[in-house]
Amino acid sequence: MPAPLNSDKSLSVNHARQLILDALLAVSGSERLFVRQALDRVLAEDIISPVDVPAHDNSAMDGWALRHADLAGNGETRLKNIGTAFAGRAFIEKVGAGETARIMTGAVLPQDVDTVVIQEDVRVDGDTVIIPPGQRIEQNIRRTGEDLRAGSAAIPAGKLLRPAELGIIASLGIAELSVRRRVRVALFSTGDELCSIGTPLFPGAVYDSNRYTLWGMLTRLGCEVIDMGVVQDDPAALEAAFREAADCADAIITSGGVSVGEADFIKQLMAQLGEVAFWKIAMKPGRPMAFGRIGEGNEGAWLFGLPGNPVAVMVTFYQFVRPALLKLMGVDPLPDFPTFSTRCVEPIKKSKGRTEFQRGILFQEGSEWCVRPTGHQGSGILSSMAKADCFIVLEPEREKVGAGETVQVQLMTGLA
Ligand code: AMP
Ligand code: MG
């Protein structure tokens, strides 16, 4: 359960994220899928390697297979060519004293061979192969099981499966595997001013964009999205929406209705239907946020009550909801959202005491990557997100950024 932090005190971004993560456990339930269907899913059980990889000692290069003891201490060595070992074909001859065999990449190492010399370094004169000095024993050889040992965990449970993991699973000859079930997320927007696309705007109305950014971010994460549309600022309609969402989803995401200026009944209702904390987070954009549980026990769902402003929705999603959903999905260990230092070419105004997530554009100046803000940074200016490829993360202690100062950035690429 979230800490009951309804006080006026602000929480730091890291503290709020930690409180959320501490409250959550991965959803239970898994399904068996074929390898390709498992892309971007979370592995439910360790993949145990049924075989050694590689399955036999083999050559890492095209070259000449030989016994290191046959080589002269210094100077060239002349060896007799006895044939060729091809990949995927048996080579039964033994390489004896003073002999060598041509060997292709991936070919099984002939008996007694302990060294492969790459073909570019060797001269061939009829049946004689001339090896230069300076060869190391074991060079260019891949030994049985050096990648994976039979019986060991090739991929641990909790891993988010990327193309590399699909390749490893296939390399073990495994066709089916067990992954966690998808996390179900219900979402709705609140606000009497909101219009859904496809309906004409009435005076004072705005189109609901948050459901589209949220749908996109959730879909990228691999969640099952239940889009419940716009819900008016009306107690009965909101209560029905919360109950329905809690019935069918693991998590509920709402936007709007948590800011200071909002009608208090939305917050009261959230609090009535479960255990919800209302936080002021020392950040910009995205100061107000609600987190908690709606409904009883296993029947309930986690609630993320995000602010209404379109940029604040995206920033709070990436900073709080994304790591929370990864935890619900069963990703273990949770990945960090790394920050990188880079030079900011323009000054930035900033107030002390809060973390700011400005939208930035990375560009190259000579050989150095630099960043500049996208321009107007209002929390309703969604075009600032569209122009941006990174967040410029300004620490609470910082008061302003002078042109040329170092700032931290978080890349947006790779978030999905
Ligand atoms: P609120 O947090 O409900 O006070 O909303 C803050 C601002 O965000 C207001 O200008 C709202 O009109 C706007 N807003 C709220 N929800 C949405 C939405 N779903 N799509 C676009 N703008 C929204
Ligand atoms: Mg509102």
197, 339, 360, 391 from 375: Cα distances, Å: 28, 21, 9, 13
For 264-307, give the DSSP string. Answer: HHHHHHHHHHEEEEEEEESEES--EEEEEEESSGGG-EEEEEE-
Closest CA to 339 of 360, 317, 324: 360
Q: CA-CA-CA-CA torsion for 241, 243, 245, 251, nearest 10 degrees?
A: 130
Distance 262 CA to ligand 2 centre (A): 6
Place of tokens 């891949």: 142
Contact present, 379 and 286 (Cβ < 8 Å): yes
Distance 99 CA to ligand 2 centre (A): 83
Do the domains spanning 58-142 and 339-411 agree at the CATH topology level?
A: no
Low-confidence ranges of the chain (pLDDT < 50): 416
CB 288 near ligand 1, within 6 Å:
no
Residues 6+ apart with CB under 8 A from 53: 145, 147, 148, 154, 171, 172
Helix (H, G, I), strand (E, B) or coil at 331: coil
Contact present, 351 and 407 (Cβ < 8 Å): no
Atom 3 of ligand 1, residue of closest alpha carbon: 256
CB 308 near ligand 1, within 6 Å:
yes
Most informative mutation of 189, 192, 206 for ligand 1 (most atoms within 8 A of CB): 206
CB 213 near ligand 1, within 6 Å:
no
Q: How far apart are CA 377 and CA 380, in angstroms?
A: 8
Q: Which CATH superfamily groups domain 58-142?
A: Molybdopterin biosynthesis moea protein, domain 3. (2.170.190.11)
CB 208 near ligand 1, within 6 Å:
yes
**Distance in angstroms between the alpha carbons of the first and the last residue of the chain:** 28
Q: What pLDDT shows up at residue 8?
A: 66
Closest CA to 212 of 202, 227, 232: 227
Which amino acid, one-letter code, is at 321?
V
- The residue ranges of every structural domain in the chain are 10-29+182-329, 38-53+148-180, 58-142, 339-411
Q: How far apart are CA 293 and CA 143, in angstroms?
A: 53
Give all strands of the β-sheet with 251-255 in edge-to-edge order: 10-11, 274-281, 288-294, 301-306, 251-255, 184-190, 224-231
Q: How far apart are CA 221 and CA 217, in angstroms?
A: 6
Alpha helices in 295-357 (DSSP H): 310-316, 322-329
CB 316 near ligand 1, within 6 Å:
no
Atom number of ligand 1 nearest to Cα 255:
16
**Whether pTM exceeds 0.85:** yes
Closest CA to 313 of 325, 321, 302: 321
CB 209 near ligand 1, within 6 Å:
yes
> Three-state SS string across 74-140, please?
CCCEEEEEEEEECCCCCCCCCCCCCEEEEECCCCECCCCCCEEEEHHHCEEECCEEEECCCCCCCCC
Q: What pLDDT shows up at residue 416?
A: 44
DSSP code for 332: S
Atom number of ligand 1 nearest to Cα 258:
2
CB 254 near ligand 1, within 6 Å:
no
Place of tokens 């020392």: 282
Q: What pLDDT shows up at residue 98?
A: 96
Q: In CATH, what number does 38-53+148-180 get?
A: 3.90.105.10
Distance 183 CA to ligand 2 centre (A): 27
Q: CA-CA-CA-CA torsion for 154, 160, 166, 171, nearest 10 degrees?
A: 0
Place of tokens 């940074």: 377
Specify whether domain 339-411 bears CATH 3.40.50.300: no
Q: Which CATH number fits domain 10-29+182-329: 3.10.580.10, 3.40.980.10, 3.40.50.300, 3.40.720.10?
A: 3.40.980.10
357, two tokens: 């997530």
